[in-house]
Amino acid sequence: MHLWRSRIIRILYIITEYFLTMCLNLLIYVNMAKKLLSTSCPSCGLPMQTAAMACAACGVKIEGNFSQTFFDQLAPEDQVFLEQYLLAGFSIKTLEQRGSLGYAAIRSRLDRLMANYEALKKMDAQKKAVLEQLRTDKISVAEAKEKLEKLSGD
């Protein structure tokens, strides 16, 4: 009787340990998902600019306008998708085998991401052109502001 009791306790211990590990992994996954930043303003929907950075180790904080890569400007779900594509060795077939999407859906999403990426690059070039026109006094501040707002609103 004592042998069976110790085996049952051992099995319960293993099940509990497994359950706790799964819960911990789920919490880590949820917390990681929560830390993905949106690139759009929750109020007006326009792209947000990084304005502060902090070191988690020593607590040093700096503020200012920091440049972002085009990748940072993509939606969080698109960033995750591209990361999965990268980890699949840029192979649609491998990505298809690892996930729930088929080849056509993956190809379509990649085509959409490439178009979005090119649109971001084009918009950035247009914004730089407006700022250059402002710098060289070819347009007024009001005209530059209007042009930049129009570009951001598209």
Q: What is the DSSP code string of 108-135?
A: HHHHHHHHHHHHHHHHHHHHHHHHHHHH
Quote the pLDDT of residue 12: 58
Pair (129, 73) in one structural domain: yes
Pair (76, 122) in one structural domain: yes
CA distance 148 to 133: 12
Specify if 55 maps to a domain: no
Residue 12 C-beta-side C-alpha neighbours within 13 Å: 6
**What residues make up the domain containing 25?**
1-35
Specify if 45 maps to a domain: no
Specify if 139 maps to a domain: yes
Total-model pTM: 0.55
Pair (24, 72) in one structural domain: no
Pair (73, 149) in one structural domain: yes
Q: Are 74 and 61 contacting, i.e. CB atoms less than 8 angstroms apart?
A: no
8-state DSSP, 138: S
Convert the pLDDT of each residue in 106-138 to its tens digit. 999 999 999 988 888 898 899 889 989 988 999
Convert the pLDDT of each residue in 23-77 to its tens digit. 555 555 555 554 555 666 777 766 677 788 888 888 889 888 777 777 777 888 8
Instruction: Give the total number of structural domains in the chain.
Output: 2
User: Which residue carries 């990084």 as its tokens?
Assistant: 50
Q: Are 101 and 85 contacting, i.e. CB atoms less than 8 angstroms apart?
A: no
